[in-house]
């Protein structure tokens, strides 16, 4: 899944981002979203996020979908 829509990005998701200094090489960095920095609902080059490591870049891929857990009924 691409990271162009803000509604798809949530804190705690594992994502691949491209850091500003890696835009030319295309090198991707994997981490967990801490903050969403793009205020627009859509961005063609990817939603800008801050990872838990403090690195900032644009989301290129979402690696983990949010998991919904339900407790069994008693």
Band (71; pLDDT cuts 50, 70, 90):
low
Instruction: Look at residues 50, 7, 3 and name the one whose alpha carbon lies nearest to residue 31.
Output: 50
Q: What is the mean pLDDT of the chain?
A: 88
CB 60 within 8 A of CB 43: no
* Residues 18-28: b if buried by 16+ CB within 10 A, e if exposed: beeeeeeeeee
User: pTM higher than 0.85 for the full model?
Assistant: no
- pLDDT of residue 11 exceeding 60: yes
Q: Which residues contact 11 (CB under 8 A, 6 or more apart)?
A: 33, 34, 35, 36
């Amino acid at each position: 899944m691409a990271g162009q829509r803000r509604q798809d990005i949530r804190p705690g998701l594992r994502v691949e981002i491209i850091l500003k200094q890696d835009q030319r090489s295309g090198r991707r960095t994997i981490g967990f979203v801490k903050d969403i920095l793009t205020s627009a609902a859509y961005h063609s080059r990817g939603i800008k996020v801050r990872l838990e490591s403090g690195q900032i870049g644009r989301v290129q891929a979402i690696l983990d979908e949010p998991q919904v857990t339900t407790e069994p009924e008693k």
